[in-house]
């Protein structure tokens, strides 16, 4: 049984295949009735131990457009409240007969643990500060749709709360697979304690990269993970590492601006920039549904071979 | 009933035990000899003692085996009172006996904690008929909260010598100093520290480094251990009180202790088998069985711990045996409790990882597992040898060449959280004798199992 737990589960061919699948599903989502019977009879469970709007809805929309049956497990009103363990919860759900579980959890590695306990496919929809692989797949798809399928050598800066960001960990890996050159931009308190083995460089100085990047990816300050203790104030963070209107004006022409959402408007990104012409933020959300269709289809259709390892 | 040590004991004393054909190894060196035990004490050590032996003497075959003083663990979590689903005094003691131990220091982080004479007395009473001697550790501070001193004198009157808030670091330097000063009035007392600065550890769940950064798991830096060790060494110099550093895990702390010993400070230290065997790479699969505090470190730290044991900077090998219920260890990595089993694998890991590769001699290894911890805990009157007539018969007989594979379902411990499942080890306990009474015979507990 195959899972998508980490970008490490993919090689370049598998990533390319998912992007190609997503392109075809983007065509489906443009139809009058944006639905195909590909996963009819399959059951997909969404199991979210953290609040989420876009990721949960995106996965559920994707599953429904593939005609899968979707079970939404609301942790807040479940036996988890009665102290049921993660293992008991997933095995109870699995006993009902499921094909895939999409899981988000505040602890790193939770999806990996689930994958050891159930036969169903496990899709990691974000585990603590570890990974969020479908976000990286949709981010790289979005970039490729603008800059052509070959993005090797493309210069990408990822700015802000890298340390607490599962998006950054997945994005760095996916971008490196495609040959992009990644620079992390943050104070050391927001960078990982070690970058040994990371295929990227890092700098404290946003000003120094503004003029020569092709893509600027902003990260949300993870206020729920106490990120604010890592710098003196939001005001000081914005002054040094926020994409203000002034800084946006100094970006090279054609530089794309991205944010995985949800945004802290006025903190990591100025509202005018988020809603401005360089911003791909709405498009990221749009592409997210197609990526998740591709992942679910790839895992559940028993489709042609190729690189979904793990 | 009074045991051979003069201490209260409920152990029935076997009529006589002859340990036959083994190689005796203790602090005085090796020799091939039989060991005859009578009335709980060693009656004779010498060449073929079987001739003319009266019937009724239990003969334990030790051919091909090492006959050593019983092992002494400075660091065992028995979980009773409070979490008897994970371990009890009796299941933990059976695990100890299976591992070759005749004494364990029960860590005081129970619920309620061992910060009160009545609780300590209850634990000692429960342990009186256990498969090893259960020696109570005592808290340094009430409730292990790091503020007010526990009744150190009352606990000392009950025989407590090792005081620690283990599980928690005593991070307040003022309280630590006060405890060390007060302990000077308590002969034999040692203040034992879980050296991990809580402010630097935060909510960390593994060693802070390349692996924690990759896995997105908040880390516990090596410096969290080093800064507390460095501070406590200065307080030991200030107060003159013996300091014992629990489960040393970093190269920095090993070096600090090495320098302190060279300067003549009264400091001792221990290392665990998991810290001299495993590294933080073991956490890559997010299995909480590898979560422990202090955490598994880098290969360089592991090698420094090995070197510290080899040159005597680290005095003892201690298990930090920390049983947890299976469902607790199936929680997500960041939420699962830290700790791993150790009693039943410590000797074999020491032989496999340290003696076999030539880092430690067999005598050094047994010193670290038996007579040196016995001395630190004030148990040398009855544990740690030497194996000579008149000595209390606390003995461990093991086959240094026997190989086996660790199977969590076959442990005597009530818990299953060994990080060594499936690992092939060399060296297996054959018999354990507690005050003259066999507690393990041919690898099985004398009470069955």
CATH number at residue B277: 3.20.20.140
Nearest to B210 among A107, A113, A196 (CB): A196
For residue B124 the two structure tokens come to 């000692």
- Average pLDDT on B361-366 reads 98
What percentage of chain B has pLDDT greater than the value 70?
A: 96
Q: What is the pLDDT of residue B343?
A: 98
Q: What is the CA radius of gyration of chain B?
A: 21
Q: What is the pLDDT of residue B294?
A: 98
Beta strands in A54-143, from DSSP E residues, in sequence order: 69-74, 100-105, 121-127
Residue A298 and residue B419: Cα distance in Å, rounded?
35
> A77: pLDDT confidence band, cut at 50, 70 and 90?
low
Q: Chain B interface residues facing chain A, Cβ-Cβ under 8 Å?
A: 208-210, 212-219, 221, 285-287, 327, 330-335
Q: Would the pLDDT of B130 be above 90? A: yes
Q: What is the pLDDT of residue B1?
A: 40
Put simply, the answer to whether A107 touches B221 (Cβ < 8 Å) is no
> B6: pLDDT confidence band, cut at 50, 70 and 90?
very low
Residue A73 and residue A58: Cα distance in Å, rounded?
15
CATH number of the domain that A62 lies in? 3.40.50.1370
| Listed range (A51-65, A294-308, B373-387, B407-421) with the worst mean pLDDT | A294-308
Has residue A309 been placed in a domain? no
Q: Are A158 and A172 in contact (CB under 8 A)?
A: yes
Nearest to B216 among A86, A88, A128 (CB): A128
B62 and B82 within one domain: no
* ipTM associated with this complex: 0.92
Q: What is the pLDDT of residue A79?
A: 66
Mark which of B355, B376, B397 sits at the end of a domain.
B376
Q: What is the pLDDT of residue B433?
A: 98
- Mind telling me how many Å the CA of B122 is from chain A's nearest CA? 32
Q: Would the pLDDT of A245 be above 60? A: yes
The label of the residue with tokens 């510290």 reads: B308
For the entire predicted model, the pTM comes to: 0.94
Give chain A's domain count. 2
- Average pLDDT on B357-386 reads 98
The parent domain of residue B429 ranges over 17-67+389-445
- Mind telling me how many Å the CA of A65 is from chain B's nearest CA? 32
- Average pLDDT on B59-67 reads 97
B82 and B55 within one domain: no
Put simply, the answer to whether B331 touches A86 (Cβ < 8 Å) is yes
Has residue B6 been placed in a domain? no
Burial state string for B382-412 with b = 16 or more CB within 10 A and e = fewer than 16? bbbbebeeebbbbbbbbbbebebebebeebb
A96 and A139 within one domain: no
Q: Would the pLDDT of A231 be above 70? A: yes
- The rounded mean pLDDT for chain A is 92
> A310: pLDDT confidence band, cut at 50, 70 and 90?
very low
The parent domain of residue A11 ranges over 7-131+285-301
- Return the number of other C-beta atoms located less than 10 Å from residue B255's C-beta: 16
Has residue B79 been placed in a domain? yes
Q: Would the pLDDT of A145 be above 80? A: yes
Residues of chain B with Cβ-Cβ distance to A107 below 8 Å are 332-335
**Residue A3 touches partner B, C-beta closer than 8 Å:** no
CATH number of the domain that B408 lies in? 2.30.40.10
- Residue to test with chain B: of A113, A162, A195, A226, most B Cβ within 10 A: A113
Q: Side-chain half-sphere of A123: how many Cα atoms within 13 Å?
A: 31
Mark which of B319, B348, B376 sits at the end of a domain.
B376
- Mind telling me how many Å the CA of B201 is from chain A's nearest CA? 13
Nearest to B286 among A85, A108, A192 (CB): A108
A-B CB pairs within 8 A amount to 75
Nearest residue in B to A86, CA atom = B331
A75 and A23 within one domain: yes
A186 and A104 within one domain: no
B61 is catalytic: no
Q: Would the pLDDT of B10 be above 50? A: no
Q: What is the pLDDT of residue B129?
A: 96
Q: What is the pLDDT of residue B360?
A: 98
Q: Would the pLDDT of A62 be above 80? A: yes
Put simply, the answer to whether B216 touches A195 (Cβ < 8 Å) is no
Contacts of A95 (CB under 8 A, 6+ apart): none
For residue A13 the two structure tokens come to 């061919």
Q: What is the pLDDT of residue B5?
A: 47
H-helix or E-strand spanning residue A133: helix A133-147
A289 and A211 within one domain: no
């Amino acid at each position: 049984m195959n899972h998508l737990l980490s970008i490490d589960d993919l090689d370049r061919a598998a990533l390319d295949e998912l992007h190609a699948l997503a392109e075809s599903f983007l065509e489906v989502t443009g139809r009058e009735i944006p639905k195909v019977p590909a996963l009819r009879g399959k059951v997909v469970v969404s199991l979210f131990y953290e609040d989420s709007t876009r990721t949960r809805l995106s996965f559920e929309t994707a599953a429904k457009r593939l005609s899968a049956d979707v079970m939404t497990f609301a942790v807040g009103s479940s036996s988890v409240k009665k102290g049921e363990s993660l293992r008991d919860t997933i095995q109870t759900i699995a006993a009902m007969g499921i094909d895939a579980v999409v899981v988000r959890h505040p602890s790193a590695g939770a999806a990996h643990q689930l994958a050891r306990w159930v036969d169903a496919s496990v899709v990691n929809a974000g585990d603590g500060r570890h990974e969020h692989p479908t976000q990286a797949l949709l981010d790289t798809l979005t970039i490729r749709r603008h800059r052509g399928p070959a993005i090797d050598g493309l210069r990408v800066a990822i700015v802000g709360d890298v340390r607490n960001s599962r998006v950054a960990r997945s994005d760095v890996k996916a971008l490196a697979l495609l040959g992009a050159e990644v620079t992390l931009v943050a104070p050391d308190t927001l960078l990982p304690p070690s970058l040994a083995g990371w295929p990227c460089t890092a700098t404290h100085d946003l000003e120094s990269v503004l003029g020569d990047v092709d893509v600027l990816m902003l990260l949300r300050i993870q206020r729920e993970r106490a990120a604010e203790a890592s710098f003196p104030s939001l005001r000081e963070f914005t002054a040094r590492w926020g994409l203000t209107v002034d800084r946006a004006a100094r970006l090279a022409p054609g530089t794309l601006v991205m944010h995985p959402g949800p945004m802290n408007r006025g903190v990591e990104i100025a509202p005018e920039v988020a809603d401005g012409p360089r911003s791909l933020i709405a498009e990221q959300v749009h592409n997210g549904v197609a990526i998740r269709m591709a992942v679910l289809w790839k895992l559940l259709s028993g489709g042609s071979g190729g690189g979904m390892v793990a | 009933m009074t045991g051979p040590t003069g201490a209260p004991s409920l152990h029935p004393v076997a009529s006589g035990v002859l340990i036959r054909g083994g190689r005796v190894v203790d602090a005085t060196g090796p020799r091939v000899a039989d060991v005859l035990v009578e009335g709980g004490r060693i009656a004779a050590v010498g060449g073929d003692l079987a001739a003319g032996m009266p019937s009724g003497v239990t003969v334990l075959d030790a051919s091909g085996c090492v006959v050593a003083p019983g092992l002494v663990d400075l660091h065992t979590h028995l979980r009773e009172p409070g979490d008897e689903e994970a371990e009890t005094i009796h299941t933990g003691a059976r695990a100890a006996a299976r591992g070759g131990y005749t004494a364990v220091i029960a860590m005081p982080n129970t619920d309620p904690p061992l910060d009160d004479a009545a609780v300590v007395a209850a634990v000692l009473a429960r342990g009186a008929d256990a498969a090893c001697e259960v020696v109570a550790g005592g808290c340094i501070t009430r409730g292990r909260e790091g503020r007010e001193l526990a009744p150190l004198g009352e606990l000392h009157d009950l025989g407590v010598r090792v005081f620690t808030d283990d599980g928690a670091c005593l991070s307040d330097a003022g309280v630590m100093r006060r405890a060390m000063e007060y302990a000077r009035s308590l002969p034999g007392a040692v203040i034992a520290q879980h050296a991990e600065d809580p402010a630097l550890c935060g909510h960390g769940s593994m060693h802070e480094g390349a692996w924690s950064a990759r896995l997105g798991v908040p880390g516990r830096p090596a410096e969290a251990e080093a800064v507390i060790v460095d501070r406590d060494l200065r307080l030991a110099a200030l107060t003159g009180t013996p300091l014992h550093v629990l489960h040393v895990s970093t190269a920095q702390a090993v070096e600090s202790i090495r320098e302190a010993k060279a300067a003549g400070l009264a400091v001792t230290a221990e290392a665990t088998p998991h810290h001299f065997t495993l590294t933080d790479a073991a956490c890559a699969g997010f299995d909480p069985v590898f979560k422990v505090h202090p955490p598994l470190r880098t290969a360089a730290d592991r090698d420094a711990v090995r070197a510290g044991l080899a040159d005597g900077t680290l005095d003892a090998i201690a298990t930090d045996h920390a049983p947890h219920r299976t469902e607790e260890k199936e929680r997500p990595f960041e939420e699962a409790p830290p700790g791993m089993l150790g009693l039943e694998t410590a000797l074999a890991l020491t032989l496999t990882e340290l003696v076999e590769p030539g880092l430690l001699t067999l005598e050094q290894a047994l010193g670290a597992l038996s007579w040196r911890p016995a001395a630190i805990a004030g148990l040398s009157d009855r544990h740690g040898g030497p194996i000579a007539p008149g000595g209390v018969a606390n003995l461990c007989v093991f086959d240094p060449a026997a190989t086996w594979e660790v199977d969590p379902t076959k442990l005597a411990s009530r818990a299953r959280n060994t990080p060594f499942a499936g690992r092939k080890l060399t060296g297996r306990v054959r018999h354990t004798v507690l005050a003259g009474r066999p507690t393990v015979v041919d690898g099985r507990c004398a009470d069955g199992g």
